[in-house]
Structure 1
């Protein structure tokens, strides 16, 4: 039994600066299953941190009672660098102010880094092949020499996650219902997670275009499978991004309930010796390419005609954009219409829209030609 807090001091990029990363290790060291949980990779998205704040004592109690059969690695706030990026009283925790990069974009493509190391060594045994791939990734990670604090943070996170069996990255949207992003190969295997979470939608894509954290390990195993079709290589990790409503939804009440739902998911997987209550079946997964990201076609003030969860048909008005300049400034309203049938998954909390800004996500069932093969994120 273990319940240990760990810290890592990240030297800063300027003299006299440093940042401390905190994480917890819970459960038996000899457990056959490893679970990696992290929240607030986008450091201004705090609902997941509230969830893990409530989950940690549940795991500690279960560990003390000898009820854990998995080792849990928990990063309640995985991006301390982003916590510090405040400008003019606004938290800009989504982006690295030094580079402008999104903290959840351009994570490394691991397969090219280990392709040579595993060539000719794969066997007829699936478990042996997974172990071989994980060892190769671990060796490559150990060889890296990151320069900046952001690179050092990424390396520390990847060292933790690369050999995990379950990797859950807790985020939130702007203003939204609970939903999940994951890889198509992992469904319907993760339907139990969607059911436990009460996920309004599970959106799948092999490659959303941005190199998101939750796509790193599925891409690794997918590419290994395609490069070695004659060898058994299962998807060695179940990974997903869990979107816990909107940025303002940081409350004890929802945090407790969401933590209980995660606890029950792990109990349902027999990773915690507990009997979870029945889960409510939630919608099956749909391709992310069937979700429209509706964008403003002009600047103005948003006046929504729909709420979260409302169903719309193609052509229905989702919002009006109130003109803020021109001959009819503050008088004219231009309707912004849905481009597909579906339901409203998210909206913008900031009601001043500029041209091209995201206004809503509409979850449909038919892949949209404008989305197929393109960049799927907002960003």
Structure 2
């Protein structure tokens, strides 16, 4: 049996402070395939933790039965620092309150850090080239000296993820349908993940602009390929952000279904020698993230939605009304907020009082929007 609970103490940034991070490993340590799973990097997003809560016993039992064909590293709640952050009885789990940085932004651009280390060491064997790159990345990570608790946490997580062949980062939206973010070169390879998850959309982008965790490894291998065109360098890590509905959706029934989907995905890949279950229906094909409109309020006010999640809408159709809360018609006037593209409503917000510039919905379309091409694609 290799199923095991681990813990690491992160030294705090103030006297006497420390935080403990817990994680599990399962499966043969020498397995050819390594899987990294983590949830709640945004510590106020718990549906992924609920899914892993239900997946862990399945992995434990499969491990005991000798069915695991991959080595799994699982962080059910990967950001204990964010778990501890409360202000005025509200959980602030998305941002490091010391720096204001989103926990899922500004992850390192690895290729510039290892370019010199791999120069002249690549050859004609793609597997050897991947090992050369991973060895250089491991050496660079080992050379880092974290100066804060969050840097300790990031370094620990990166050391695990950069050795993995499959890296899944479990998140959720505010109020949304299930969806995936991944890199375009990883599709249709990850279509089976989309199918098992039962997503409404798979949104792809090479660079969404924020240095998100799931883009670190695809960016590494993509840049290595571009800089070394005479040497075969596969995209050696399948990575994705899995968005499990909304923040309020941490229910056992959802977690059980989501865990069954993850188990089915791994079993279908042959990484667990067990029945994968009923083959899921095909999920929609991927679409560029640049074709998704992030609809924002142009003024402060109170939202009154006219649509529901999953509704198909047309460009120019009112999505919501914004009720004025100041001015000559305060609390009387309603200004419609219009869709800027044809598509379907993927997400909405639960807090209906919004400030100017706040995101109120995402609409998934089929055509790249000029305002989104080459820009910052994220919400914050």
Which ranges in structure 2 are unaligned for 5 or more consecutive residues? none
Please state if 1:221 is matched with 2:233: no
Q: Give the aligned length.
A: 379
Q: Deviation of residue 154 (structure 1)?
A: 0.2
Query: What do residues 162-194 of structure 1 show as CA deviations (whole Å, max 9, x unaligned)?
Result: 010000000000000000000000000000000
The equivalent of 1:152 in structure 2 is: 152
Q: Kindly report which structure 2 residues correspond to 1:226-375, keeping only aligned pairs within 5 A, or say none.
A: 226-276=226-276, 277-375=278-376
SS of 1:359's partner is strand
Query: What do residues 97-124 of structure 1 show as CA deviations (whole Å, max 9, x unaligned)?
Result: 1000100000000000000010100010
Q: Matched residues in 2 for 1:282 and 1:253: separation?
A: 21
Q: Kindly report which structure 2 residues correspond to 1:1-379, keeping only aligned pairs within 5 A, or say none.
A: 1-276=1-276, 277-379=278-380
SS of 2:115's partner is helix
Which ranges in structure 1 are unaligned for 5 or more consecutive residues? none
SS of 1:55's partner is helix
Q: Deviation of residue 279 (structure 1)?
A: 1.4
SS of 2:226's partner is helix
SS of 1:150's partner is helix
Q: Matched residues in 2 for 1:354 and 1:279: separation?
A: 41
Q: Deviation of residue 275 (structure 1)?
A: 2.2
Q: Matched residues in 1 for 2:143 and 2:43: separation?
A: 28
Query: What do residues 170-222 of structure 1 show as CA deviations (whole Å, max 9, x unaligned)?
Result: 00000000000000000000000000000100000000000000000000000
- Divergent runs of 4+, >2 A: none
Q: Deviation of residue 3 (structure 1)?
A: 0.7
Q: Matched residues in 2 for 1:287 and 1:271: separation?
A: 29
Q: Matched residues in 1 for 2:210 and 2:171: separation?
A: 16
| Root-mean-square deviation (Å) | 0.5
SS of 2:9's partner is strand
Q: Matched residues in 2 for 1:246 and 1:351: separation?
A: 15
Q: Deviation of residue 327 (structure 1)?
A: 1.2
SS of 1:139's partner is helix
SS of 1:35's partner is strand
Q: Matched residues in 2 for 1:285 and 1:224: separation?
A: 25
